[in-house]
Amino acid sequence: MFEAVIFDWDGTLVNSRKAIVGSFQEALDEVGCKVPDEFIARRMGTSSLETLMMILKEAKVSFDDELIKHLSEERIRFEMEMSDKVILFDGTTDLLASLKGKVKLALATSNNREVIDHLLKMKDVRSFFDTMVTIEDIKNSKPNPEIFLKCASELNVRPERCVVVEDSIFGVKAAEAAKMGCIAVLTGVYSREELATANPGLTVQSVKEKTAILRYVIG
């Protein structure tokens, strides 16, 4: 039995692809840059700052720290404006309620705290989590395991007693690096075969598969 479950947010507990992709495209439009939506979607789960820099480099758009900071702030503003497009996946609240009180719960997200605070309140799920770590709280984004190890530390649970629930290859790799259990969900953009390369302990279609998830976590 595990003692803690660490959830990713975007693509795992909520369908936020339209809001995130849209927020990037709106921000990038300011510098006349356009990239395929799929490119942005497949970067979900890692740092938006890194994604912005990668996009501008590939588009050969010159930038400095000030421009990246501005575009990041604009992206956050646009995502906040699009928050009505963020939808809890079926089964999210039911799963969280079933785990609450049996194990400790944490949220580990590469999104920004302002956005997450707003959405957690909007979706009425903040009370389920014992702690939350966002991109502002770490130096190294997924697939580095720092975000999950910080959650474990804040929960006072050894890493090997934690299980991560993730949809992105970045998150599944980070869980493997942290030596934590991992449940991969297929509600993101990555296929079962892609996620399997990072050896998750269980793969499910979505968090709606409560019975399989509870069996893996609690036994």
* Residue 1: predicted pLDDT: 87
Quickly count: other Cβ atoms within 10 Å of residue 53's Cβ: 17
Best CA proximity match to 5, nearest among 195, 198, 217: 217
* Residue 138: predicted pLDDT: 97
CB-count burial class (<10 Å; 0-12, 13-18, 19+) for 145: buried
Distance between start and end Cα atoms, the chain: 6
Strand partners, 169: none
* Residue 160: predicted pLDDT: 98
* Residue 165: predicted pLDDT: 98
pLDDT tens-digit profile, the chain (219 residues): 899 999 999 999 999 999 999 999 999 999 999 999 999 999 998 899 999 999 999 899 999 999 999 999 999 999 999 999 999 999 999 999 999 999 999 999 999 999 999 999 999 999 999 999 999 999 999 999 999 999 999 999 999 999 999 999 999 999 999 999 999 999 999 999 999 999 999 999 999 999 999 999 998
3-state secondary structure of 202: strand
**Is the CB of residue 136 less than 8 Å from the CB of residue 126?**
no
* Residue 45: predicted pLDDT: 86
Strand partners, 100: 103
Q: State pLDDT tens for residues 135-179.
A: 999 999 999 999 999 999 999 999 999 999 999 999 999 999 999
* Domains, in order of start, for the chain: 4-15+86-218 (3.40.50.1000), 17-84 (1.10.150)
